Amino acid sequence: MIDYSPFLISFEVAISTTIVLGVVGIFISYFLAFSKSVLADIVEPFIMSPLVLPPTVLGFYIMYIFGLQSPLGRLLNNIGIHLLFNFNGLLLGSIIYSLPFAVSPVVSGFRSVPKSIIEASYTLGKSKFYTLLKVIIPNAKYSIISALVLVFSHTIGEFGVVLMVGGDIPGKTRTASIAIFDYVQELNYKQANITALILFAIAMSTLIFLQILKRFQER
């Protein structure tokens, strides 16, 4: 019998991460795409670092910074905010680890918007926020949708970061990818295969959707 709880946890984390990064990612992308500040050049490598850092390295530093070993972790713990080995830990790790997937496509989409229509909006007296909401975002909608799909599919399959930050607690932090690892350790290859096939189907579905979206964007 299939244990569906890891899938429910994975979907809950993926949906929550997608919602958070869908909002936060747009403002970060706007800053990186249009800011001429040196700060943008400093911030962007940190945002993109999860693409090149091993998940265990990223997970370790998240665990260290928000754990009781650090002043920040002790402060959060004293005021009742616990960010490790619970759902909050899964969400925190997923947001940090999936941030590049939320930002990179949107930055490219924002930079592809013709400057003429952005400047026309400013000439008409519209604010930067209005221009972002009514001009830039609609013209970069395919990039934004692609970013959201990438964040969702990437979060569904996370392993290293969520394992270190959230742990392996059945019914609480055991995601589908962690469940596969546990099944293999138990030599339960049948359940591991079923779980892996479901994740594979989800991943392929998102890739097919992105390919279809690319066709629409080209048209």
With a pLDDT cut of 70, the percent of the chain lying above it is: 99
Mean pLDDT, the chain, rounded, equals: 91
In the chain, count of helices (H) and strands (E)? 12, 0
Q: How far is CA 36 from CA 30, 33, 39, 40, in A?
A: 11, 9, 8, 7
Per-residue pLDDT at 218 exceeds 80: no
- List pLDDT tens digits, range 164-210: 999 899 989 999 999 999 999 999 999 999 999 999 999 899 889 88
As a whole number, mean pLDDT of residues 112-139 equals 93
With a pLDDT cut of 90, the percent of the chain lying above it is: 71
As a whole number, mean pLDDT of residues 22-46 equals 92
pLDDT at 194: 93
Per-residue pLDDT at 217 exceeds 80: no
The residue ranges of DSSP E strands in the chain, in sequence order, are none
pLDDT at 197: 94
Q: Which three-class secondary structure state does DSSP give residue 181?
A: helix
How many Å separate Cα 195 from the centre of its chain?
A: 22
Per-residue pLDDT at 25 exceeds 90: yes
* Token couple for 148: 């959201």
Contact 163, 178 (CB under 8 A): yes
- Give the confidence band of 211 by pLDDT, cuts at 50, 70, 90: confident
